[in-house]
């Protein structure tokens, strides 16, 4: 079990997280100009998020260092967000992954043909790899979370790498690359997207899904938490893909920040979204914390989150 100090560091409202970090330039466009969009996260802990004035990509400021982020994942992440205090993926997580993997496999069915080469970048507990293999594909995963990677290998018998640097695969190797709720966790999502695009065949497809920071029906600060060091909306999702030479594939269903991209030879053009950062600063403007607590608006999201965990835990396999 995590120590009392751990709970203090990670759950006590109105205090910061145990990290120092360093300011960074925007990973998407390189600009250092920004506007603040949030000062607290979903636990009402102090966490500053800024939006790049040039392109609108949201990032944590200061940005946790690679070591701080690695340390956070090694100790806190699963305990924090997935109700898992002892090794191995919890049942409710596996049920949710299985549902999501089935959905993703159906969406990409036209490309998941026998012999197709498939990469799942951030493959978690391996449900999508298993779904792709069931369709006759050659599927491989990349997953730095050791318990999850081990689970995928043991329970699904799939190949999973701990990490994959640029030289790991030949350019143009894969027919299908997917990355589901991974980019928001990375310090360098735009650079990683370029790497994935290089590994994609000229007629390949890349599925990318991230949380939509502009989603309605959520109190603004609910969208922020420490594990998500970048925040996307529809425009910044597409700009990140555009910089990597990708455009939305119009033959596939899309919902905001869940998108299937294809390669394009057309020049990327400027990586900019004039006015987006200011719009996000207005849209994501939080209620003052005391007013928020008094309003009771936090009760419903909390109930909903718990109900979801309960449902996922008891869902039939
Ligand atoms: Zn930018």
Divide the 317 residues of the chain into consecutive groups of 10 and give the mean pLDDT of each group. Answer: 65 82 97 94 88 98 93 67 58 90 98 98 97 98 90 96 93 98 96 98 98 80 86 98 98 97 93 96 75 66 66 58
Distance 259 CA to ligand 1 centre (A): 20
* pLDDT confidence of residue 85: 44
* pLDDT confidence of residue 224: 87
Distance 248 CA to ligand 1 centre (A): 20
Q: Which two tokens stand for residue 190?
A: 């735009």
Instruction: Measure the CA–CA gap between 250 and 265, rounded to whole angstroms.
Output: 16
Distance 66 CA to ligand 1 centre (A): 20
**Helix boundaries (H) for the chain:** 4-11, 66-75, 77-81, 91-107, 127-134, 146-156, 189-199, 234-243, 276-283, 289-295, 299-314
Instruction: Measure the CA–CA gap between 89 and 124, rounded to whole angstroms.
Output: 9
* pLDDT confidence of residue 3: 65
* pLDDT confidence of residue 290: 65
* pLDDT confidence of residue 182: 96
* pLDDT confidence of residue 317: 43
Q: Which two tokens stand for residue 35?
A: 């506007």
CB 126 within 8 A of CB 101: no
Distance 172 CA to ligand 1 centre (A): 28
Distance 59 CA to ligand 1 centre (A): 10
Contacts of 133 (CB under 8 A, 6+ apart): 139, 156, 158
Distance 217 CA to ligand 1 centre (A): 26
Distance 268 CA to ligand 1 centre (A): 15
Distance 30 CA to ligand 1 centre (A): 6
Regarding beta strands 138-142 and 159-161, do their DSSP bridges make them parallel or antiparallel, or are they unpaired?
A: parallel
Residue by residue, DSSP assigns 242-288 as HHTTEEE-TTS--BTTEEEEEE--S-------TTHHHHHHHHTPPPP
Annotate 197-228 with b (16+ C-beta within 10 A) or e (fewer): bebbbeebbbbbbbbbbbeeebbbbbbbbbbb
Residue 180 exposed, middle or buried by CB count within 10 Å (0-12, 13-18, 19+): buried
Domain 4-314 sits in CATH at: 3.40.50.150
């Amino acid at each position: 079990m995590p120590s009392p100090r751990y709970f203090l560091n990670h759950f006590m409202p109105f205090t910061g997280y145990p990290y120092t970090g360093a300011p960074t330039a925007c990973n998407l466009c390189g600009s250092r100009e920004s506007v603040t969009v949030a000062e607290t996260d979903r636990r009402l802990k102090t966490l500053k998020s800024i939006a790049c004035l040039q392109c609108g990509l949201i990032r944590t400021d200061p940005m946790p260092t690679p070591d701080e982020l690695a340390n956070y994942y090694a100790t806190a992440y699963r305990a924090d967000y997935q109700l898992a205090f002892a090794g191995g993926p919890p049942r409710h997580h596996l049920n949710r992954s299985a549902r999501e993997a089935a959905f993703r496999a159906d969406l990409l069915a036209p490309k998941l043909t026998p012999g197709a080469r498939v990469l799942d970048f951030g493959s978690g507990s391996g449900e999508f790899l298993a779904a792709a293999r069931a369709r006759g594909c050659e599927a491989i995963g990349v997953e730095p979370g050791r318990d999850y990677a081990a689970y995928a290998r043991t329970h699904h018998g799939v190949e999973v790498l701990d990490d994959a640097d640029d030289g790991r695969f030949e350019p143009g190797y894969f027919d299908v690359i997917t990355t589901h709720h991974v980019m928001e966790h990375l310090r360098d999502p735009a650079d990683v997207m370029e790497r994935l695009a290089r590994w994609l065949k000229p007629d390949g497809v890349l599925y990318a899904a991230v949380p939509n920071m502009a989603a309605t029906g959520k109190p603004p600060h609910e969208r922020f938490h420490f594990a998500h060091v970048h925040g996307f909306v529809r425009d910044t999702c597409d700009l990140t893909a555009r910089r990597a030479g990708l455009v939305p594939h119009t033959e596939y269903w899309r919902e905001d920040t869940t998108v299937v991209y294809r390669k394009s030879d057309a020049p990327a053009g400027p990586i900019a979204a004039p006015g987006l950062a200011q719009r996000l600063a207005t849209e994501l403007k939080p209620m003052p914390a005391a007013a928020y607590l008094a309003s009771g608006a936090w009760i419903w999201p909390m109930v909903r989150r718990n109900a979801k965990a309960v449902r996922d835990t008891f869902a039939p396999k």
